[in-house]
Amino acid sequence: MADGSIGLWTVPLAVLGGAIRVSTPFLFVSLGECITERSGRINLGLEGTLVMGAMSAYGISYLTGSPWLGVLAAGVTGALLGALHAGICSLPRVNDVAVGIALMLFGTGLAFYLGKPLIEPTAPRLPAIDFGWWSDIPQLRAALRVNALFLIGVALAPILYWAFRTTRWGLLIRTAGESSDAARAMGHSVLLIRLRATMVGGFLAGIGGSFLSLFYPGSWNEGLSSGQGITAVALVIFARWDPLLCLWASLAFGGAAALGPALQSVGVTSGYHLFNAAPYILTLAIMIITCSPKRTLTGAPAELSITR
Amino acid sequence: MTAEAADSAEAVGTVAPAANPGFLLRHGGTIEYILIPAAALAGALVVFGIFVAMFGKNPLDLYFYMYYGAFGTWFSWQNTLTRAAPLILTALCTALPAQLGMVIIGGEGALLIGALSATSAALLLQGLPPLVVQMAMVIAGVIGGGLWIMLAGGLRQYRGVNETISSLLLVYIALAILNHLVEGMMRDPASLNKPSTREIGAANMIGTIPGTDVHWGLVFGLIAAVAAYILIYHTVFGFAARVAGGNIRAAKIVGLGVSKLILTICFLAGGAAGLAGMVEVAAVQGRTNANLAAGYGFTGILVAFLARQNPLAIIPVAILLGGISASGGLLQRRLGLPDASVLVLQGIIFVFVLASDALYGRIGFLKGKS
């Protein structure tokens, strides 16, 4: 083996690098979904938003030459899909879970349709910040090549935590999520609050998608996201709707998702597909452990249809 | 007379009182259930027409080729019906749990596990009479798919895990298991480019309905849909399921075994999707490989919602959506549309159908006088 000097240390290093790299989309989608669900509505369509975000970011980056414009475009696309979700949900007797499923199929379909011409060309990608310059070990340096979006996401988690607790907007979102009657009595439109919360959630999920196509894996194809969006939605549930816990859970997930490729790099190839499914198995396992049929989850917004 | 009219009005779901039992009043609900989805479908087609017009294609050409590719010729009818067969079965995977108020979207996973189990059964029983092998494949497919969705139902009942999310996660896990086995233990060494299992053998294929190119899977689907309809609407078990779906507390008070209901319904639902997997193996692919993840499970969700979770209505809706996917090839060849255009249209239809839920009971001339 070429890296005989550090041998099996490759695996934990790759998992560390993966925790940083792979976790970013999980982080953005889960923070976005956290905002939406706190307002009392669930958007299962973020899987579609993620793929649309990835496609539009890649397209705009390719056309304009600026990856950051691509990130912005991905966010705007996500916000539009969020507005569509919120708009349909505000009709009477429409079920938000079903609309989410519909938008999951619609978003992926639209992204594949519009993204057909983008599979061939190469778009400018987001730059990485090198935090491993002090080290001589190439694997460690690779693990510490961090994207700015990751840092933004990490900073966003405590900001959201703080905003939910202390700002007027945070309070309004939580009021709409805990008791729409109370929000209405205070003279606020619950539908408008939820529209904004879903749009912001979609914006963040779109940015999560731009990370997929513009940094890691860093290209556009139809197999880019397989269930990362829905995993992130599940992640919010066992993160108890707490942005800080979303951050830790995303990092754990990134690490789990990096396990397969890491083991493959040291020659363990037999269970490759099973290790790739690690994030889904982990999600399911954690949901089995943390959920209970007897009580509603602590911290669950009372208006949320999925936990009632 | 008045009481009878009131009963029938209630049965079809009309909210108006039975003071004037006219035709519209008695059948208003049924008409609504046909009219509103049809309007949603038409709206979706118009929006899709505008969408392709933005890419410089003529929407009228689009509609013509869609019709032609789906129902225009005997050949396209056969193509449509072949695709409708698995759709009927995977739609049941969403529609049956919906009677209990559960939203299961993991039909694709049950299909893959069903295909894998059916293939394993066929490979283990090589050399036995084809009828025995085929029966074993059906049983294995149903049990494999059934247990897979029963897992989601059990997690919901005993652990409170949301069944929508768990069933979708199980799709990705099923795909990983399939890829793992197909590239490892069960791989046919001769399949180089596309890792596959060994073939189940030409003698064990279920073949086509005489005089057509449509395989027997369509008959499996029709039987399953009718059986599901009878089960839900004409048996005590189905009645209990609908009571539990309407009001879980009331069901518990009258002593219905809710756990048993959930597990049984989920097993049957997964069994239907597993049977779809068996059909795809035994009538189309002849072996298990990644080709099986063709999205029938996901389109089945749309079929179930468009049919308003009614097992009988699933049949025409599955044929309609089978037609849309059958026309995809023609749209690609004649209009140069990408293959994903079928997905876009399906997504638009889904959005319209859900938005049209807001219309029920609001169409003036169907409401009757109160």
The string of pLDDT tens digits covering residues A252-265 is 888 888 887 778 77
Q: Which residues 176-235 on chain A approach chain B with CB closer than 8 angstroms?
A: 226-227, 230-231, 233-234
Q: Do A97 and B179 touch (CB under 8 A)?
A: no
- Please state, in angstroms and as integers, the Cα–Cα distance from residue A240 to each residue in A13, A290, B76, B135, B294, following that order: 29, 10, 51, 47, 35
CB pairs under 8 A between A and B: 144
**HSE on the CB side for A163, CA within 13 Å?**
15
pLDDT category, B272, cuts 50, 70, 90? Answer: very high
Query: Residue A299: which of A227, A241, A244 has the closest Cα?
Result: A241
Average pLDDT over residues B179-206: 90
- Encode A248-282: b = buried (16+ Cβ within 10 Å), e = exposed: ebbbbbbbbbbbbbbbbeeeeeebbbbbbbbbbbb
Query: Residue A44 in contact with residue B164, Cβ under 8 Å?
Result: yes
**A119 and chain B in contact, CB less than 8 A:** no
**A234/A246 Cα distance (integer angstroms):** 11
State the complex-level ipTM. 0.90
**A109 and chain B in contact, CB less than 8 A:** yes
Query: Residue A229 in contact with residue A93, Cβ under 8 Å?
Result: no
Whether pLDDT at B136 is above 60:
yes
Query: Residue B285: which of B205, B208, B192 has the closest Cα?
Result: B205
Average pLDDT over residues B206-234: 95
Q: Which of B94, B116, B151, B168 to mutate to test the interface with A (most CBs of A within 10 A)?
A: B168
Whether pLDDT at A4 is above 60:
no
Whether pLDDT at B263 is above 90:
yes
Residue of B173 and A130 predicted with greater confidence: B173
Whether pLDDT at B7 is above 50:
no
The reported pLDDT for the residue numbered A307 is 61
Whether pLDDT at B197 is above 80:
yes
What are the tokens at A99?
Answer: 């609309």
The string of pLDDT tens digits covering residues B328-358 is 999 999 998 998 999 999 999 999 999 998 8
The reported pLDDT for the residue numbered A238 is 79
Query: Residue B52 in contact with residue B62, Cβ under 8 Å?
Result: yes
pLDDT category, B198, cuts 50, 70, 90? Answer: very high
Whether pLDDT at A295 is above 50:
yes
Whether pLDDT at B10 is above 60:
no
Q: Do A109 and B177 touch (CB under 8 A)?
A: no
The reported pLDDT for the residue numbered A196 is 96
Whether pLDDT at B121 is above 80:
yes
Query: Residue B198 in contact with residue B188, Cβ under 8 Å?
Result: yes
Measured between CB atoms, which of B105, B173, B301 is closest to A277? B173
Strands A128-130 and A145-147: antiparallel
Q: Which residues 66-85 on chain A approach chain B with CB closer than 8 angstroms?
A: 84
The reported pLDDT for the residue numbered B307 is 93
What are the tokens at B278?
Answer: 């068996």
**A251/A247 Cα distance (integer angstroms):** 6
**B269/A166 Cα distance (integer angstroms):** 47
Percent of chain A predicted with pLDDT > 70? 95
Q: Do B173 and A281 touch (CB under 8 A)?
A: yes
Which SS3 state, helix, strand or coil, does residue A231 take? helix
Residue of A128 and B281 predicted with greater confidence: B281
User: How many C-beta atoms lie closer than 10 Å to residue A242's C-beta?
Assistant: 18
The reported pLDDT for the residue numbered B18 is 44
The reported pLDDT for the residue numbered B15 is 44
Q: Which of A273, A276, A294, A304 to mutate to test the interface with B (most CBs of B within 10 A)?
A: A273
Name B196's bridge partners: B289
Q: Do A280 and B169 touch (CB under 8 A)?
A: yes
Handedness of CA B56, B61, B67, B73 (dihedral sign): negative
Whether pLDDT at A171 is above 60:
yes
Name B197's bridge partners: B187
Q: Helix %, strand %, coil % for chain A, to 5?
A: 70, 0, 30
Cβ-Cβ contacts under 8 Å, B350 against chain A: 101-102, 105-106
The reported pLDDT for the residue numbered B2 is 41
- Closest approach of chain B CAs to the CA of A87, in angstroms? 9
Q: Do B343 and A271 touch (CB under 8 A)?
A: no
Amino acid found at B128: L
**A79/B109 Cα distance (integer angstroms):** 30
The string of pLDDT tens digits covering residues A136-170 is 877 777 778 888 999 999 999 999 999 999 999 99
Whether pLDDT at A1 is above 50:
no
Residues 6+ apart with CB under 8 A from B74: none
**A274/B331 Cα distance (integer angstroms):** 37
The string of pLDDT tens digits covering residues B145-182 is 999 999 999 999 998 888 998 999 999 999 999 999 99
Average pLDDT over residues A31-50: 94
Q: What phi and psi, each to the nearest 5 degrees, are found at residue B196?
A: -145, 165
The reported pLDDT for the residue numbered B369 is 43
Name B208's bridge partners: B215
The reported pLDDT for the residue numbered B14 is 42
Query: Residue B97 in contact with residue B103, Cβ under 8 Å?
Result: yes
Q: Do B103 and A98 touch (CB under 8 A)?
A: yes
The string of pLDDT tens digits covering residues A72-123 is 999 999 999 999 999 999 998 888 888 999 999 999 999 999 999 998 888 8
The string of pLDDT tens digits covering residues B30-73 is 888 888 989 999 999 999 999 999 988 999 999 999 999 999 99
Name B76's bridge partners: none
Percent of chain B predicted with pLDDT > 70? 91
Q: Do A112 and B343 touch (CB under 8 A)?
A: yes
pLDDT category, A290, cuts 50, 70, 90? Answer: confident
pLDDT category, B191, cuts 50, 70, 90? Answer: confident
Task: Name the residue of chain A whose CA is nearest to B344's CA.
Answer: A109
Using N-to-C axis directions, what is the helix angle for B296-306 and B258-279, rounded to 10°? 130
pLDDT category, A6, cuts 50, 70, 90? Answer: low
The reported pLDDT for the residue numbered B255 is 81
Query: Does the bond joining A121 to the residue before it have cis omega, within 30 degrees of 0?
Result: no
Rounded mean pLDDT of chain A?
Answer: 88
Whether pLDDT at A248 is above 90:
yes
Whether pLDDT at A12 is above 90:
no
Q: Do B350 and A270 touch (CB under 8 A)?
A: no
Whether pLDDT at A2 is above 70:
no
Task: Name the residue of chain A whose CA is nearest to B176's CA.
Answer: A273
Q: Do A271 and B180 touch (CB under 8 A)?
A: yes
**A98 and chain B in contact, CB less than 8 A:** yes
Q: Do A230 and B340 touch (CB under 8 A)?
A: no
How many angstroms separate the first and last alpha carbons of chain A? 54
**A10/A3 Cα distance (integer angstroms):** 8
The reported pLDDT for the residue numbered B25 is 67
Amino acid found at A3: D
Amino acid found at B30: T
User: How many C-beta atoms lie closer than 10 Å to residue B249's C-beta?
Assistant: 9
Measured between CB atoms, which of A91, A93, A284 is closest to B169? A284
Q: Which of B116, B173, B183, B303 to mutate to test the interface with A (most CBs of A within 10 A)?
A: B173
Q: Do A293 and B157 touch (CB under 8 A)?
A: yes
- Closest approach of chain B CAs to the CA of A44, in angstroms? 9
The reported pLDDT for the residue numbered A308 is 52
Q: Which residues 146-185 on chain A approach chain B with CB closer than 8 angstroms?
A: none
Amino acid found at A66: S
User: How many C-beta atoms lie closer than 10 Å to residue B340's C-beta?
Assistant: 21
Q: Do B165 and A84 touch (CB under 8 A)?
A: no
Residues 6+ apart with CB under 8 A from B53: B59
**A307 and chain B in contact, CB less than 8 A:** yes
Rounded mean pLDDT of chain B?
Answer: 89
- Closest approach of chain A CAs to the CA of B215, in angstroms? 28
The string of pLDDT tens digits covering residues A180-205 is 999 999 999 999 999 999 999 999 99
The reported pLDDT for the residue numbered B367 is 55
Cβ-Cβ contacts under 8 Å, B351 against chain A: 84, 88, 99, 102-103, 106
What are the tokens at B51?
Answer: 């969408």
Cβ-Cβ contacts under 8 Å, B170 against chain A: 284
The reported pLDDT for the residue numbered A270 is 76
The reported pLDDT for the residue numbered B24 is 67
Cα of B369 vs its chain's centroid, Å: 37
The reported pLDDT for the residue numbered B241 is 92
Query: Residue B214: which of B76, B346, B93, B21 has the closest Cα?
Result: B76
The reported pLDDT for the residue numbered A260 is 78
Whether pLDDT at A223 is above 90:
no
What are the tokens at A254?
Answer: 């990134």
Q: Do A270 and B169 touch (CB under 8 A)?
A: no
- Encode B156-185: b = buried (16+ Cβ within 10 Å), e = exposed: bbeebbbbbbbbbbbbbbbbbbbbbbbbee
> Rg (Cα) of chain B, in Å, rounded?
22
- Closest approach of chain B CAs to the CA of A183, in angstroms? 24
